[in-house]
Amino acid sequence: MDLEYFKQKYGYEEEGGFWYPRVTAICSIIAKPGLDKWLANQGSYNAMQEKRRKITDWGTLVDKTIKKILKGESPEINPVIRPSIDAFLNWFKGHKIELFDTDRRVISKEHFYVGTLDVLNEIDGNFGILDIKTSSGFWDEQFIQTAAYFQAYNENALEKAKTYWVFRVDQYQECINCGAKKREKGGESEVKEGNPNCDHKWTPFKGICELKEVDSHQTYLEIFLTAKKLWELSNRHWLNQIENYPKKFNSAYN
């Protein structure tokens, strides 16, 4: 890896020619025990990469479809994500949503990072940032990531966001005998809970949508900024070669 590859992989050049690290790159330093266990069970590095690609493609398809619906479009819905989108549409009907923007690039000059928030909107009169996740649950790292977007957006916005949410969209089949749940994403299956020795009989796919609002923004932001320090420490070899990377962020690691 050379410096240009590092810069392209982990950040963006923004106004004034300054290079900023991305929120997602910084958050990658945070340990994810569940993901690490999953990766270890894939058999080989190539198998892990292929499964991860399929799952990512599935999540991207859900994300893009939901954003088109929020924009008032009527996208063709791929059958493989239909249960998730049906659950979203059912949720959507029960709330008053006003969309302001999607995929907005935000920069924190105070803490020196860049990111792309998913959705800027009002939900039932409450103005904030919505982050879409296709996960099996809510995890702290999701709120840590969104806290970074919230901070960066509010540094520059005339109308400040009041809150932020993680919006979880998923689909699964349930065993009618033991209650196990099977998730399939991009052709990759995962069975959790229930009896592993059961002769499973699966229901049709069920979609699920859950909205969870942040409950401790300052705590999550502080964790993100600590993660940024760790990320900078881990990458000080490259950061010290970036001429305009602020010394106050990397001088302690020389």
Provide block-wise average pLDDT over 10 residues at a time, the chain (254 residues): 92 88 94 54 58 74 95 92 95 95 95 96 96 91 96 95 96 91 77 88 93 93 95 92 77 53
Distance CA 78, CA 84 (A): 10
What ranges do the domains of the chain cover?
3-253
Q: Could you tell me the sign of the dihedral formed by the alpha carbons of 103, 7, 228, 109, in that order?
A: negative
Neighbouring CB atoms inside 10 A of 127's CB total: 16
Whole-number CA gyration radius for the chain: 20
3-state class of 4 per DSSP?
helix
Q: Which fold has domain 3-253?
A: Lambda Exonuclease; Chain A (3.90.320)
Distance CA 246, CA 95 (A): 44
Contact 236, 21 (CB under 8 A): no
pLDDT tens column, 194-232 = 888 889 999 999 999 999 999 989 999 999 999 999 999
Q: Output the pLDDT for position 128.
A: 97
Q: What are the residues facing 212 on neighbouring strands?
A: 166
Q: Output the pLDDT for position 186.
A: 61
Q: Output the pLDDT for position 14.
A: 85
Contact 149, 26 (CB under 8 A): no
Between strands 163-174 and 126-133, the pairing is parallel
Q: Output the pLDDT for position 183.
A: 86
